[in-house]
Structure 1
């Protein structure tokens, strides 16, 4: 493949970045892995005494919780299939996937609330991208959020910044990564670069950059899954 041809910048944190890169390579693209976020585990005390179910909104949440606690008997609600698969690989057996976003996950939990005999624990990022707890509490459920990891901004490499003109697109999986990218593009415009975003919420921080000539286009996936995101590369 010629240098710079069909290159796609993968901005998500490891180890998810490597999984995305493998999918891109299988599609015939050349992935450039340079995360804009770095995930760091936290060390909170975990009490599952009154917990009937766990609600995960990310693979990172599953991984961090699994490293902190050995219990795998609780029921799991997962935001999407990748998160559900991560929970299964971690040893959980009773798993339901919302196959969507945080709102879809809240709806899934509410639809099965009568089956729950206890509280719901939401292991999450220190600064979660969406609010899962409020709609569940408003519906009368006992829910608490526990930060098990944090996402820290990470600067792109000088090599990535110098290669912006030769990249076909940048993939963004979170609003936090999009905000970080927006900051860098104010200093390093990329008028030929397409930003492909997992959802409208992810795309929001980038909207003004197109009008300012710092991005070529910003597009959201039709559904908040990575498959739908990668489908945008063929449009």
Structure 2
């Protein structure tokens, strides 16, 4: 299948490699770009650093404060974020398997209130980790280290592929990506085209943006990780195979 990949460029390259291993062709067309935020990082001590994305840890690793923070334990969401933590120099990394809610559960399992955490975060957050832990008596300092900036027009790679009818499926790694893609596609005159495509969402919240926009075919990953996203893409393709009553790509 020809699969449109919309996430920011560095992450999109990894996704493209994964798709190629499965025999798919990736059309990389990021609708968001990652930008640094020059925010301060308050002094510790911290009982742990919390990270929900590899982007936060990469930005943290570029800051002078990283030298003292790597002596602290890290709680990271998923293997990819954990790997970024090891690359940043954290020696002790605990992996929360899931999403922000799983990270909160992992932090509560390992620490008792009033433990103090530093959340290496982006400006846009799908789940309020600081608020959830705060309700349980923990202290969370949020350091916003990056923001995802939306494109002002549909990327040319997506524009060209849609115009030629070359897109079979679209991957959506976040609700903001889905919403941005819908808005830019509508503005470019491709609204009807993209709603007839197959869409694969990382989580139910992401899928909701697509179903609310009346996209006809939306699959959801069983877990919020890229392996499960690829599995959902494969199932979607199998459903369209001749044995499933549809077309094969």
TM-score (norm 1): 0.90
Aligned pairs for 1:33-44 within 5 A: 33-44=28-39
Aligned pairs for 1:87-126 within 5 A: 87-114=85-112, 118-126=115-123
Give unpaired runs (5+ residues) of structure 2.
236-249
Contact 2:72–2:92, Cα closer than 8 Å, also in 1: yes
1:25-78, Cα deviation, whole Å (9 max, x unpaired): 111100111111100011112233221211001111111111123321111011
> Which residue matches 2:158?
160
Contact 2:2–2:168, Cα closer than 8 Å, also in 1: yes
> Which residue matches 1:182?
182
> Which residue matches 1:205?
209
Aligned pairs for 1:49-128 within 5 A: 49-68=44-63, 69-71=65-67, 72-114=70-112, 118-128=115-125
Aligned residue for 1:161, secondary structure, equals helix
Contact 1:119–1:143, Cα closer than 8 Å, also in 2: yes
Question: In the alignment, which of 123, 126, 130 is matched to residue 127 of structure 2?
Answer: 130
Number of residue pairs the alignment of both structures matches: 225
Aligned residue for 2:143, secondary structure, equals strand
State how far apart, in whole Å, the 2-side matches of 1:162 and 1:104 are: 39
Contact 2:130–2:139, Cα closer than 8 Å, also in 1: no
Is the strand fraction higher in 1 or 2? 1
> Which residue matches 2:4?
9
Give unpaired runs (5+ residues) of structure 1.
1-5
> Which residue matches 2:247?
none
4+ residue stretches of structure 1 with deviation over 4 A? none
Aligned residue for 1:104, secondary structure, equals helix
Contact 2:96–2:103, Cα closer than 8 Å, also in 1: yes
State how far apart, in whole Å, the 2-side matches of 1:96 and 1:140 are: 21
State how far apart, in whole Å, the 2-side matches of 1:80 and 1:27 are: 21
Aligned residue for 1:207, secondary structure, equals helix
| C-alpha RMSD of the superposition | 1.6
Give 1:117 shift: 8.0
Comparing 201-210 and 88-97, the one that deviates more: 201-210
TM-score (norm 2): 0.85
State how far apart, in whole Å, the 2-side matches of 1:173 and 1:79 are: 15
State how far apart, in whole Å, the 2-side matches of 1:227 and 1:42 are: 30
Give 1:230 shift: 0.6
